[in-house]
Structure 1
Amino acid sequence: MDSQIVAFCLLAMTCIQAMAFEPSPLQDFCVADYTSSARVNGLACMDSKLVQAEHFTYSGLHLSGNTSNPLGFSVTPVTVAQLPGLNTLGIALVRFDYAPWGVAPLHVHPRATEIITVLEGSIQVGFVTSNPDNKLISKVLQKGDVFIFPMGLVHFQRNVGNGNAVSISAVSSQNPGIVIVASSVFGSVPGIDDDVLAKAFQVDKSTIDNLKAQF
């Protein structure tokens, strides 16, 4: 094998590793050991001899969440924090409950693509493409409908019915993360300087102060 072929193979391997967001498992499973202080990209593995079926089981997604809050929605996550058997497997689930006209506000998952399925009600969903287009892709989903939110794009969900709504989402990370746009911009600690926000949103500082007061 000559040097050019070797160089090409190394480049291809580098590109594949760069595209693979979460590393592939090197064993059948790696049940999270919550007691370990080891610092790894994920959680340390429990001794496989101690693993039981319970480490791969979660009960509770049949229970309705509490939507008595200003946004009218709740989240029931099933990430590695709730289900240790998810560790290193690169997936997670989330149940959303919505009061009538409840909203899951504009947010981003920095480490995951999301696929949402409506179980009950009518839910408007949408995401915004990146610059320079900033195009809104939106649709009202009914029971059984599926929609995808690509990784890293701002998106939202809203119950557009007069009854409760429920959806469930699968995400392509054991720990997808969430950045709520309004909270991040107006509720950061320490706060972003008013001058920066006023220029970014093209409003006066009093408007920024009013928005910060909400968070």
Structure 2
Amino acid sequence: MNKRAPLKFDPTMECMMKMNLDAKFPDQQIRCNIELPHGTGKRIRVAVYCSPDEEEEVLAFGADLAGKTLQDQIAAEKIEFDVLLARPQSMPALAKLGKILGPRRLMPSPKSGTVVSDIKTAVETFKSGKTVELRNSRHGLVALPVGKLSYGKEKLVENFRAALQGLADKKPAGAKQNFWKAVYLGSTMSPSCRIQGSEFPKIKVKNEDDD
């Protein structure tokens, strides 16, 4: 990849996985969080849906947006955050904004770890850039960043392996025996390369002897 991307900025390495899943079935859908040991290298903007009275405290935790400022921006469809957190008791009030947040995949959910009671810990976790949410598209594709090109081979491989193992650990109950169809790696403005079977890290997948 270094030879293929002589760029003046530090590109992000992206992993695209074609999964053997049929997203029409609920038991073949992926929505989970995984942890990358070295993070993605991206700055993550975290917002917290809370009351105006809590805004100052939440911002002190490190959140980028919160309280009435956030509520007004969402209502105006001005989205300036990457992750939205909320406490369970805030979800009924937040539901009215579902038409705005849902299509952008920003609606908080227990599955993605964004509906939480401990806001401080959640803000710190997501701001670290190590937590990545995975979802499969209706075509069975899962895409995620695995770090910056400047990380070097060792760190990128460790992140890549962690991504695969994290996904394998969350294999849906209805997934077929051969979980992956194909895996590709690429960087910003460079071609993607398919990972050959001989180069594929040994990953233990639930209900499979080998992968």
Query: Does the alignment reach a TM-score above 0.5?
Result: no
Which protein, 1 or 2, shows the higher relative CO under an 8 Å CA cutoff with sep ≥ 6? 2
State which structure, 1 or 2, has the greater radius of gyration over its C-alpha atoms.
Answer: 1
Q: TM-score, normalised by structure 2?
A: 0.25
Greater strand proportion: 1
